């Protein structure tokens, strides 16, 4: 949004040209998301405690985890809010990748919120059944994959490239749907399996997100892409803004999610 406004006022306020730079917007997207979570999280926690939206802990798990019963849950919804606000502010909304990334993240986030809500209201650890979760995740994933595949402007957008290995390219064809599905749904469920201890899910997620942001930046820069034998994807630059916003929101959440 701000990049649009800068176009209108740049002629009178030359300093607004800085908004055009991806690095500037990436840094401020992270700071914006971080600030939103840090500022809103205390009130958000108090609200969840008032509503008695507390964590339900499995009785067959480690005894040390039982003391977490009643700990406010559904904190991921605040990450989604911070991510959405930050990306809409600092991202180039003409970029399709931004909208697809938001669609998948928000969609999976809604599934997670519904799962948590059912756990809270039913006072058990089951929530949504594994079959229903996989069904909703699959629908969201295939919609995003279909858009990416049918709007691809070149074969380099649907190929599997082995990083840093020149000429090692796998032409996926229709197998692109299966491979992308495994990446999207598999990654989401891998995070769920990682979770369980304070900060255990969010910290690896931040590191992976930042790594993906680096790849997005490198592949969107023609010089870096050619030097490192990576495909050149000019529109991938906006995903740096998305990744930084998500990492910033995650860091804010981590501040309130660390031991004890």
Check residue 120 and give its pLDDT: 77
pLDDT at 124: 62
pLDDT at 13: 72
Are the beta carbons of 179 and 148 closer than 8 angstroms? no
Domains of the chain: which residue ranges?
24-255
Q: What is the pLDDT along the chain (260 residues), one digit of tens a residue?
A: 788 777 777 767 777 788 889 999 999 999 999 999 999 998 888 887 777 665 555 554 554 544 555 556 677 889 999 999 999 999 999 999 999 999 999 999 999 888 888 877 776 667 788 899 999 999 999 999 999 999 988 787 888 888 777 778 888 888 999 999 999 999 988 887 777 655 578 888 999 999 999 999 999 999 999 888 888 888 899 999 999 999 999 999 988 877 66
Task: Say what the pTM is.
Answer: 0.87
pLDDT of residue 52: 63
What's the pLDDT score for residue 60? 47
Q: What is the pLDDT of residue 193?
A: 79
**Among candidate residues 209, 250, 241, the one with its CA nearest the CA of residue 94:** 241
Q: For residue 40, give the nearest of 258, 249, 260 by alpha carbon.
A: 249
Q: What is the pLDDT of residue 168?
A: 82
Distance CA 19, CA 121 (A): 45
Half-sphere exposure of 30 (CA within 13 A, CB side): 17
Q: Is 57 helix (H, G, I), strand (E, B) or coil?
A: coil
Q: What are phi and psi of 201, to 5 degrees?
A: -85, -40
């Amino acid at each position: 949004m701000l990049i649009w406004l800068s176009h209108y006022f740049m002629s009178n306020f030359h300093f607004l040209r800085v908004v055009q730079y991806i690095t500037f917007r990436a840094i401020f997207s992270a700071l914006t998301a971080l600030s939103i979570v840090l500022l809103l999280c205390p009130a958000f926690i108090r609200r969840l405690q008032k509503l008695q939206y507390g964590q339900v802990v499995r009785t067959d798990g480690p005894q040390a985890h039982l003391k977490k019963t009643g700990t406010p849950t559904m904190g991921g919804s605040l990450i989604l809010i911070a991510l959405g606000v930050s990306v809409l502010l600092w991202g180039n909304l003409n970029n399709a990748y931004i909208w697809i990334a938001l669609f998948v993240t928000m969609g999976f986030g809604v599934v997670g919120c519904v799962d948590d809500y059912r756990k809270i209201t039913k006072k058990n650890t089951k929530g949504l059944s594994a079959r229903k979760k996989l069904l909703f995740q699959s629908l969201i994933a295939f919609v995003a994959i279909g858009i990416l595949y049918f709007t691809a402007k070149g074969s380099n957008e649907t190929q599997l490239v082995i990083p840093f290995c020149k000429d090692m390219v796998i032409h996926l064809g229709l197998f692109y749907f299966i491979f992308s599905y495994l990446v999207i749904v598999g990654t989401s469920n891998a995070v769920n399996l990682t979770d369980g201890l304070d900060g255990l899910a969010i910290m690896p997620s931040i590191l992976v997100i930042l790594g993906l942001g680096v790849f997005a930046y490198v592949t969107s820069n023609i010089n870096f892409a050619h030097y490192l034998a990576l495909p050149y994807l000019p529109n991938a630059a906006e995903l740096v803004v998305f990744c930084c916003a998500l990492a910033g929101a995650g860091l804010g959440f981590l501040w309130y999610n660390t031991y004890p």
